[in-house]
Structure 1
């Protein structure tokens, strides 16, 4: 207990010290103020860039969260399961795989399909400009945004019109780097990997895929936690109305209500994802046995 109290106290002191140092450097020195003035943290978008969130973005956002939570849960189940509860095999034959792996891959397919639809719509509607860094100026502006967050003098939030540079880099990394990496490494580890792809398998061994896949999952967990925290910390009603109700700043609780209902559905699905349910689902697509 004493170690816990001492550790907690030291952590608080360390965080407070970092915040104080960054505040002094950023706002208390001419160089810091000049840096923020030159790189405020946001890059103006082209005049043709769309504003707001169309209905398809709102649906895609929720579906992505829905499948991601279930994928992460089943992935963690695979990692901590030493003895599978049952096996699954296609009705057309082939090797048996643990039922936990089948459910994970099954949910992955929906998550991946949703992601492909999202990317197609992103580029066909011009929304890509909001999440793709199109200039090297994003890097110093992202540094500026990060320092402003650390100093607790947070950059101006106006997600309806434009994200700050740090958000753009985070969304770009998640959509175009982390998601494909998760899909590719997951495919390499799964039974869907073609047995005849021996040459590719030697270049990209399954051991390498395992070493990459888990850290990518950790990245997604951290991204979700930080993302949700900032949504609530920078104006919950406004942000939730943006994403879940498609309105800008009307001060209503409609977005919060839709968000709450959506979260209840996600939590309910995660809780319902038990052996008695997963076994029945797996049986619809193959043979379940021991």
Structure 2
């Protein structure tokens, strides 16, 4: 028991490296942790789950899936099929499978995770909302927007009943906004993106998720031809990424390209002498 408490104390700072935007250092710290406790299956399982998520952040979906598959097998054996950690690992694996374009496999695993979470935690639990949100990503990838929207709205309702905001609500609002855009409902999509920006500014402040929501809002405004506000919003997004040291990332670079498109559109629309 004392040994388990010791590796748990070491696990937390290793996983915190992910939150600090250092996924490679997270992997290295977790590998070192596993090497120090070679006979502890639970330690290995939780470390592998972290390695899988870190590899996914580094855009290494093959390595992510391999680590998460081993983690899930160990957690099922050590903790049981309906333990919260096992259910979380199922959802992480389902999400990583999308990185390999294995949409149907992701859907199957995500649906199983949701069913087991409902049985274990109750239909109105925050854990169910999390499982619904994760499953909605697979339906969105499949372009089944109706099912994705239904799951997100259900998750949103559960979280709102808790009486306080959670960061996942920002994900719901972002994704619901994107669905509106896909349907050509630009005004509705813009309104949802504005809500996501406001929520993330309040909860997270200067954060990459706030920058991401600003970028989504800017793209939606550009799609609606609202070039001036789109350019200002995208500039806010890329400036925030730069301040966070994330300006060379894929998301930031994509928004910079969208910002250039806005500048070109504004120049083309400017009156000539």
| TM-score, normalization by structure 1 | 0.27
The structure that has the greater radius of gyration is: 1
Structure with the bigger RCO (C-alpha within 8 Å, sep 6+) is 1
Structure with greater helix share of residues: 2
